[in-house]
Amino acid sequence: MSIRPVRRIRTIAAGLFLLAPAAAAVQQQHDSTAMNTRGAHVMGFDQNKTTHHFTLTKTGGIIQVQANDPSDTASCDHIRMHLEHISKAFAQGDFTDPHEVHAETPPGVPTMKARKDKITYQFESIPKGAKVIITTEDPKALEAVHDYLRYQIREHKTGDPIDLQSLPRPGPLTRNTANP
């Protein structure tokens, strides 16, 4: 074998190595676009006109969606309808919507279904949208809820923390010496 074919193979290999990250980025963009398209169909509102947030709490978590434009009453109304719907569906162990949006069963869902009687979902209307507060005292259900929310954070690229955040501790108690 001459040196020329070896160099050609190395050049091709190097080119493929350099193209791999670009191909991955294109695939990731395609996956995100497909998810947003499915999300708009399932949720009833444009994903680009809204902002999702997922928060892990000591007792469960919060799913919150708001319209980016406060005057976009159509998105606000659809967000409220959707989150009220999922709060009821999740309470019944029905996770069809997340499966349809993500084209797979999110982590935590099987346990959340199995332990549905140990988890509560409270819908609340908020300015520009709505939220669902998820609570449980069951350790396995709590772990499942956190797995589910972490998945949503990654999939929707919200930038929300994937771990429980420590709340600021109050300062030391001071004693009022004027009025003991």
Q: pLDDT per residue over 145-173, tens digit each?
A: 999 999 999 998 999 999 986 545 554 54
Higher pLDDT, 15 or 156: 156
pLDDT for res 42: 63
Higher pLDDT, 97 or 65: 65
Q: Over the stretch 86-131, which tens digit does the pLDDT of each residue have?
A: 999 999 999 998 888 778 999 999 999 999 999 999 999 999 999 9
The residues that bridge with 62 in the sheet, in sequence order, are 55, 133
Average pLDDT over residues 47-60: 94
Percent of the chain whose pLDDT exceeds 70: 69
Measured CA distances, 22 to 10, 12, 29, 32, 127 (Å): 19, 16, 11, 15, 40
Residues whose CB is less than 8 angstroms from the CB of residue 67 and which lie 6 or more positions away in sequence, other chains included: 45, 49, 50, 75, 76, 79, 128, 129
**What's the sign of the alpha-carbon dihedral 122, 137, 157, 105?**
negative
> Quick check: 15 pLDDT over 90?
no
pLDDT for res 40: 65
Q: How many CA atoms lie within 13 A of 46 on its CB side?
A: 9
Measured CA distances, 90 to 39, 97, 116, 132, 168 (Å): 17, 10, 8, 10, 32
Average pLDDT over residues 43-64: 91
